[in-house]
Amino acid sequence: MNTQNVVRVVDLTRPFGQGFPGFDKKIAKELPADGWNASSLNFYSHAGTHMDAPVHFLADGATLEHYPPGRFLSQAWVVDVTWVNEKSIIDIAHLGDASRYHKPGQSLLLKTGWSSRFGRPEYRESLPRIAPSLAHWCVDRKVNLLGVEPPSVADVQNLAEVTVIHQILLEGGVIPLEGLVNLDQLSTSKVFLIALPLLIEGGDGAPARVIALETPESANDFPYYLPA
């Protein structure tokens, strides 16, 4: 990768803060009394911008630390589906050029604008989600990471749906990457995606720092992970 070609770096991660659902921060040490500042952090493994591991929905699924590091670095198609309404279904027909030109090992980012609804009831209760046919397409096309702005790729209010969609993806080797932000800041159809989760032994998922790199060539010169 020629880093001189990188013209924009966009952070796709929602920061944790006080009052953030699934996160709590407490003072552990203070500079005047203890000589340094430090905090105790407590978080739900699927809070905020996060990555899922197979064991999240598969009884015998692999845990987070079994992903090779190369899985977290890939080219990614940015698909604009900002037309979606509440509870919309996103299918293969909505992928545009990505449905024709996606290569095995590349990732997929679905730009819905849904991250702007964070903190409102509809963020969880009325989210757009992917169709089972799109989940199967992702498996067949060997999509690496499937990134979405809502807190899930499926309806979290519907256990049957959220289970089926995650099982299709995770059994098929596709990693869900959920709770993304700032996709509206991306201006190219492809980026180089860096998505690094906390390395937790036995992890069913973890918060991830997710960054997109844009180049004039829309990341065509970037390498990407090719599944075995």
Q: Per the domain annotation, does 127 fall within a domain?
A: yes
The residues, any chain, with a CB within 8 Å of residue 188's CB and separated by 6 or more, are: 78, 214, 215, 218, 219
pLDDT at 215: 78
In this predicted model, what pLDDT tens digit does every residue of 145-166 receive, in sequence order?
A: 999 999 999 999 999 999 999 9
Mean pLDDT of 191-212: 96
Structural domain boundaries, residue 62: 3-17+45-214
Q: Per the domain annotation, does 27 fall within a domain?
A: no
Q: Per the domain annotation, does 23 fall within a domain?
A: no
Q: Per the domain annotation, does 223 fall within a domain?
A: no
Q: Per the structure, how many domains does the chain have?
A: 1
CATH code, domain with 166: 3.50.30.50
Q: Per the domain annotation, does 31 fall within a domain?
A: no
Distance CA 210, CA 227 (A): 20
Is residue 61 pLDDT above 80, yes or no?
Answer: yes
Query: Does residue 66 sit in helix, strand or coil?
Result: helix
pLDDT at 19: 87
Nearest to 197 by CA among 43, 18, 60: 43
Q: Per the domain annotation, does 85 fall within a domain?
A: yes
Q: Per the domain annotation, does 55 fall within a domain?
A: yes
Q: Per the domain annotation, does 22 fall within a domain?
A: no
Instruction: Kindly state the percentage of the chain with pLDDT values over 70.
Output: 92
